[in-house]
Structure formats: C-alpha cells, structure tokens
Amino acid sequence: MVRKKRRNTLAWKIKGIVKNYFLLDALFLAYAIFDKLFTKNNTVLFVFTKDEKFVDNSMYLFKYMHENTNEDIHLFIYNKALYEQLKTEYPGKLLYAYSKKGFFAFLKSKTIILSTGLDKLLFFPYYLNPKHKTIVQLWHGSLFKRLGFQVADWNKKKNRKELQRFSKFIACSTLEQFMIASCFDMNMDDIWITDYPRNDRMLNPTKDLTQDFPYLKHKTILYAPTWREEGRDTEFFPFDDIDLLEIQKFLEENNAYLLIRGHKEEVDRINDTYNLSLGETDRIISADQSVFPNGEELLPYVDILITDYSGIYNDFLLLNRPIIFVPYDIDDYSTYRGVLLDYDKFTAGPKVYKQSELLLNLKRYLDKPNEDIEIRKRLMSVFHDSLTFNASQSIYSKIKEI
C-alpha cells in the first residue's frame, strides 16, 4: 500500500518556504549572535531529541565516558519522560532542553554528540551549526541505503538548507567513509573509521536475555526490514503464496521462533493485513523496540537474519551467521530512495520472493548454518575493515584531540 502524499499542496509549499527561507535563517542569525556572547567551555552534550530513548551509540559512548573519564559530560534531553527516568541514575548529568539552565549550557558547550537527525529543525528551537560547535554524528545504522544528498529524489522534495551538517561522522569502514562523504558532502578527513560503540559488546553480550525471554534458548530467526519513510508501507510477508499458519507449522517442526522487528505501527498492521494476530501464534513473536529497545543486545541470540536494505545487515555480519534477503520492492524503492551499492554483489545471502523460497532457505540454514560462511567473511571485512571492538575509546580519543 502506498502512503498518500500531501507534498504537492499549496499549504505544504508555503510551509516549506517559511521553514527554509525564514525560520532557518532566523535561527542561524540568532545563534550566531548568541555564540559571540558566551565563552565556550569543555562541556560535551549528548543530545537526545523528542522521541528518542536512551539507546544505541550515544548511550554506549556516554556510559563509557561516564565510567572511564573525568570529562564534563551531560545528557541534553528534549523528552521530559526520559529526563525523569534518568535523573536518579545520572544525578547532575542531565539537562532538560526546554529550560533556562539547558539553554545556557547549550550556548556555552563546545562539543555536541548525537546519533540521529538529518533535518535541522529536528533540534528546534536549537540550531546546530558546525561553524560554532563540533558536532559529532555517531549515527544509528551502517550505511547501505542512500542518505542525504544521495537520496534519489531528495532535491526534488527538500531544500539543501534543511539538511543538518556535521563536523565529524563515524564510519565502520573505508568503503563507508566514501559513502558518507558522498551523502553528506563532507571531507574524508572528517569521517572517523572507528566502527560503532554498540558493536563493542557484540561478541560478548553483558546481559542474559534468556532469563526474560526463554524462547531465545531455541533457534531464533529475526525478521527486520528497513523503515520506509516514504513510498510503500513495509510488507513483512510480501508473498503471493503467503500462509502464516504454514510458517507456524514450519517453526514448530524445527523448534524455532520467528521474531518480527519493525516500527510498532508496522507490526500492528500485520494483524489487519494477514487476518492473524501475533498473539494467536506462539512461534511468531513481536520484537519491536518496546520489547527489545537495544537491537544489538538481541542480535547475539539470533541464528538467522531476514532483512532487505536495513543497516542491521552490516552489524549482523560480525556474527557470521546466515542472512536471507527479501527485496520485494527494490525497483520501486530505488525510484525514491535506493541503495548505495550493487545490491547483488554486496549482500551475503539468497534473495527470496516467495514463501516457499523463504522456508526452503530457512531449512537449509537451520540444518547447515556454515553454508555461505566465506562470502559472509569476505563482506564482513569490507564493511568492518578496522574492527577493534574498542570503538568508544577510539572515538573518545579523537574527541580529545580536537
């Protein structure tokens, strides 16, 4: 199903003009003036915007610096509920964005760390400008699909002013360094190849999730497609021969579980689309962020990954376990988003377009998980060519240098 767009209406065009030619310029001017009035200190702000949770790369880097350094670091939080949740755990380390104290701390700080945000107005009423601050983008997923200036129709729908600029960007490989430079019009020297802080513990998880989720003791298959901001809605089972009861039977016969990970509204849509609630099956289970906030903590328990264009593929390569791809809409997806690499050459696993093909390959990998191990090793060395499992320390050292 294709989402209805309202981007060609007069109201949408007027809104874009106001945003790009008045609001952004006004914010730039205001913060340029304020910047001259405040002496900068060495405070490092970890910015979490309105809908974010305390997860992913920013969380891991903050915890590392909190536990191993004496740096003046603070969590700069827009979400009041998240602020209340963390203030007892990190007393004196939190700043609420919509407060006088937060406002002045932002103006005085020199370094900003974040993991999301390609739109400048995501940080409204604040304005992040690399001319005034060092903005380090950790990001939240290895590049595979296009981002920024490389999105197929980005320039048709947005103004270049809207794209947030960064001082530094984290990459997992030399290849990704080139990709980031292309997507965000950055100098190669400003892209640090350190890998991700969240991957530091990939092979040695610190939490035993099997206590709370006993099914992880069995064969576990994770279905995690990419989030589609535009175009067609995500289809978890885009097969003409779809039969969820047959999948349930397959899982029972192989003593396996299928975890569905997507945005909550996508998982909820499964009930309507396939006339089957996940609650009606004991083998097909929701695994969205409300269940597993940190996906990297779940991956070590996953035996087989099913995905399409998601960056979770790059992380899962570190475990060298089977991967199956379901690129059911790649032609359509490429018209408005697209991927940065040759899809067939840079994906380490079979592409399936029917449920029968999916079950056949699942069975093959359940019985022989080492099949295709060499191609996974080869592509892992491409996407993670400087891996040390010490990313947090590397990033901290680079921040100290600047």
Distances 361 to 282, 315, 383 between C-alpha atoms, Å: 22, 21, 24
Query: Measured between alpha carbons, how far is 108 from 146 in angstroms, rounded to an integer?
Result: 34
Are the C-beta atoms of 326 and 309 separated by less than 8 Å? no
Domain 209-383: homologous superfamily in CATH: CDP-glycerol glycerophosphotransferase, C-terminal domain (3.40.50.12580)
pLDDT at residue 202 in the model: 83
Query: Measured between alpha carbons, how far is 380 from 319 in angstroms, rounded to an integer?
Result: 9
pLDDT at residue 338 in the model: 83
> Which parts of the chain sit beneath pLDDT 50?
1-5
Query: Measured between alpha carbons, how far is 149 from 162 in angstroms, rounded to an integer?
Result: 11
Partners of 168 in beta bridges = 136
Q: Is the pTM higher than 0.85?
A: yes
Phi, psi of 139, rounded to the nearest 5 degrees: 65, 175
Q: With the C-alpha atoms ordered 165, 122, 135, 20, is the resulting torsion angle positive or negative?
A: positive
pLDDT at residue 215 in the model: 95
CA neighbor of 121 nearest in space, from 26, 5, 13, 186? 26
CATH topology for 10-195+390-401 is Rossmann fold (3.40.50)
Rg, Å, the chain Cα set: 22
Query: Measured between alpha carbons, how far is 141 from 279 in angstroms, rounded to an integer?
Result: 30
CA neighbor of 42 nearest in space, from 62, 71, 64? 71
CA 307 to chain centre: 14
Secondary structure element (H or E) that encloses residue 169, with its range: strand 168-171
10 Å CB burial of residue 75 (0-12, 13-18, 19+) is buried
Report domain extents, the chain: 10-195+390-401, 209-383
Q: What one-character-per-residue DSSP string does 47-75 give?
A: EE-TT--S-HHHHHHHHHHHHH----EEE
The tokens 């969820």 sit on which residue?
244
pLDDT at residue 395 in the model: 97
pLDDT at residue 133 in the model: 95
Secondary structure element (H or E) that encloses residue 399, with its range: helix 391-401
pLDDT tens figures, 226-257: 877 666 677 888 899 988 889 999 999 999 99
Matching CATH topology for 10-195+390-401 and 209-383? yes
The tokens 């405040």 sit on which residue?
38
What is the CB neighbour count within 10 angstroms for residue 226?
20
pLDDT at residue 270 in the model: 63
